[in-house]
Structure formats: C-alpha cells, structure tokens
Chain A
Amino acid sequence: MKKALFALCLAFGMLLTGCGTTGDTTSTASGGTGTTNIQADTAGFTFTYQGHTFSMHQKLSEVVDAIGEPIAKTSSPNCAGFSGVDWFYNYGAFEVTSYPVDDVDYLSRIRLVTDEVETAEGIAIGSSEADMLAAYGTPTSESSGLYTFEKSRSRLQILVKDGGVSEIDYYAIYD
C-alpha cells in the first residue's frame, strides 16, 4: 500500500512539473520571432524622420521617445485581447504598425501616406517609376505594379499606378 501511494505521489509530481509546455491560457505573440531577443533590423530598409532613423523590429517605444506621441492611434487585438495587440499609430505623413512579443511592441510596418516624407533612398509618393527602379534596382518580385524589395529582415513594397509611386510600405520579415 505504501509503495502504491509513493508511486501515485511520484506520478502526480511528474505530471505537474514535467513536459515543458506552457500551461496557462496566455498565448505566444502573434507574428514576430516568439522570443524576447528581438533586434532592430538596422541592416534592412530604414526610414528617417526628423533626423531619427527607424527600422523594422525596432521597439515602438523608441519611436515614441524619438518623435513623440502620434496624432491618433488605435489597436487591433484578437477577440479576447489577451495575447497582445497590434498598434496602429498615425503620425500624419506616415503610419506605424507594431506587433507584440512578451508585452513589448515592435515595428511591423511603416506606411508613407503623403509626399512630405521619403524613403532613405529618396523615393516618395509621386516619384516616377523610373526613379524608383533607379534607386532600388531589380525587385525581388513584381506583380500588377506592386514592386517588392527584400533586404535583411525587412521588405519594401512600392505600388506604382500610371507610372508613379502611389503607395510605399515597409514590412518586417519574421523568422
């Protein structure tokens, strides 16, 4: 009987402490590398505003520290909202989107909205297709006027309509 009870206690002890899976209901983050060691992709496509340079996977808080709070912001959580939210920050001439990992928000997208700002290579909304291709060279892919360039862990997508640049987006590439 004592042996049976000992075996029982051992079994439950192993059950409660073993297996290595997370037991709580909080999920891992949506997107991102799923680790806490996320480095800004300074080797990828970068965006400079008011003398500050931003790159994909950079902490959202560093953007705010550098250029202040956005004009407006909103978030898009999942339904229950417990696994973090994606933030959308509106800075007027451009928008920033983030993804959460372990309660820290990292840049997942920068969208240039007006021609008041430009990429590090000098391309803005309204730039010609020729100037854009001269700046970036051969794209990774092109489809229906959407040019995609990849560099390190970032992607630059430029939409061309009627010979001119109409949309510019930086995106983070996840591992």
Chain B
Amino acid sequence: MKKKAILIGVATVLLFALCFAFLQMLLMPKYMSAPYLEGAMIQEYYDNAGGNDVVFIGDCEVYENFSPITLWEEYGIPSYIRGSAQQYIWQSYYLLEETLRYETPKVVVFNVLSMKYDATQSEPYNRMLLDGMKWSPTKVQAVRACIEASERAGVHETFLSYVFPLLRFHSRWSDLGSDDVEYLFSRRTVTHNGYLMRVDVNPVEYIPTPDYLAPEDAQLPAICYDYLDRMTKLCQDNGIELVLIKAPSVLPFWYDVWDAQMEEYAAQHGLAYYNFLDEEHLTASGIDYSTDTYDGGLHLNLSGAEKMSVYFGKILQERFDLPDRRGDAALAAKWQEKADAYYAMEADQRREIEEYGYPVSYALPPES
C-alpha cells in the first residue's frame, strides 16, 4: 500500500510538472508576428554565436540601422547585433557579459540613447529580453537588475515569474492564436544576424521641436554611467574596443548637452564616439531621410541600414584594423547562406508592398 501511495505521488508530481511545462510552452508569447517580432531576437543569437569580429549592443537604433550582411559583403566583417526592443543600459551590460561567454569580438558597438533611461519604461520590454536569454549566473543578475529598474518605475515584478514565466502569462489562454500552436516547439528566424529588416519607405515630413531641457535635468543618470563604466571595464579587461555611437534616428530627441557628455566620457576613457546625427556623417553616409526610413525618421529602412553599414564598416575596418575574412571558404559559405535568406526576405517584403501597400507579414498597417 505504501509503495503504491509513493508511486501515485511521484506520478502525480511528474504529471503536474509535464502539464506545467506544456502550458508554459503554450501560453508564452511566440513573437512570430508583427508587431512583436522583436521578442524573438534575443534567443536567435545562440544559433549564431561565435566568430563575430563586431558585436552591436543596444536598442532598435542598432537592430534597425545596421546590416551585418552588408558589413560582410563589403568588408568581410562578420558581425552580430544583440539588440532588443528599448534595451536599457543594464540589460546591455548583462547581454554583453553573456556574449563574452560565447565569443570575444574585436569591437563592441554600443548605442548611447539608453543613457537617458534610469528606470523601466514598460515591463514587456523586460520580458522580451529576459525570457529569450538562457539561464546563467549572468541572467540571474540581469533579472535582478531589471526588477530593481522596474521598482524605480513603481512596477513590481517577481523573480519567480522569470523562473516560471507561466506565472506571468497564465491569462494569455484567452489570447491564444495560431502562432501559439504552429511555433509551440520551434521558431522561425526573424532577423539576419540580429538585423530586423523593413524595406518600406515613409519619409521624414516633420521633426517636432524638442522639449526644453532645464539645466538641472540635463545630467544623464548616475546609474547609467555606472553601467557604462562597467561595460567599458569589461571590454578593457577582455581586450575589446568599445565604440560608442548615436544612431541617425531623429526621435527620441538627443540633446546637445547629452551629446557633450558622451563626447567627454569617450575622451576621458579613450573611446571612439560617433554621433551619426551630425551633418558630416549624414552627408558622408548618404543617408536621405526622404528614402531611407520606414517610419518618418525613427528607424532606417533597408536602404538606410545598408548605407550606414557601408559608411561605418569602412570606419571600423580602418580604425580598428579588422581583417577581411571573405577569403575563409567555410565562413564565406556560411555567410552566403545568410545572404540568400536576407535577399529572399527583401524580395518577399517588396512583393507584399506591391500587393498590399505595406509588408503585411512584417508590420502593422501604416498609422493613419
């Protein structure tokens, strides 16, 4: 009898665990359709980890504005963009730390827009990043940092909800769709080494005047400088060149006083800093806001990303003496596969624009 009771107990626990695991897989968002594709980005890295000379870290101003395929085709620079939606600097630090468990790039490029955020702006951004990370001591620290950042914003999150995401997404049962079944056990790739492609064009028509920034509000937050210091040290300790950039996105506003702080920081720490909003860079790169953006200048489209990559790739290769690896047959074959998928997606998006007026599988209808 006792043996039977134990067996029933064990079977019940196993059954509970299996059901829990299955429900968690079913109810967690799959991020396979617009406008949530960004949620799939972080976990795509693990199948592409290693062998990258350049790693980009940051928010949509990196994953929409640079093309790793172009960097490879023009300069033989293998690269990956470890981007995520509105990535905060503490997230960038831990992503970088995690990346260094898989590879040691020669250059890390970090977009500095996130220096303006000292707290979580929206909790789903934490989920979209953290739920895609593999568990490691780094992820534990990242979760804690994100929870602290949410507390600063008055949003309460629990560590347990990251260990068991079902606790967070349990009520999604009423929102289940075909993606939840189709992508239950596997995902399709949505990026090209971290680049999220859009080929449509929506030119800049109007740039609003920025809010006045009072002198006492002009200083970038101390906690952001703390993480920037940690990122700088991490790169120094690993022999990596850290490059700071501000991508050529016209919004959110990037104030001159913030730019001056980044210039000063870069000078003090011997880092390169490029503000691609500066006229000299815009002219030299050939960025044209009437053709190279898909959302009125917030993000570049494929045309803009490729122009930026041609321009910045030359800078990276010359300044940091990056080798041209196109002569490596195995690497070339791997990148040829990536390029084939890249151009196939470009063709698919252009076909959808021709047929529907916008890339329906990749974006929501244009805002009216």
Contact = CB atoms under 8 A, between A and B. Distances in A.
A143 B216 contact: yes
Interface stretch (A16-24, A43-51, A120-128, A131-139): A16-24
B128 interface: yes
A72 B86 CA distance: 26
Nearest to A143: B214
Contact of A74 (B59, B205, B212): B205
A113 B125 CA distance: 35
Interface string B161-181: 000001111111101000000
Contacts of B197: none
Interface string B294-305: 011110000000
Contacts, number: 133
B122 interface: yes
A11 B19 CA distance: 11
B177 to A, nearest CB: 11
B252 interface: yes
Contacts of B169: 23-24
A140 interface: no
Contact of A72 (B27, B121, B205, B212): B205
A97 B39 contact: no
Contacts of A77: 295, 298
A95 B298 CA distance: 19
Interface of B: 8-9, 11-12, 15-16, 19-20, 23, 27, 29, 31, 35-36, 38-39, 59-60, 84-87, 121-125, 127-128, 166-173, 175, 204-209, 211-212, 214-216, 251-252, 295-298, 364, 367
A-B pairs with lowest CB-CB distance, top 10: A23-B171, A72-B206, A79-B60, A79-B85, A88-B208, A80-B85, A27-B122, A4-B12, A23-B172, A76-B251
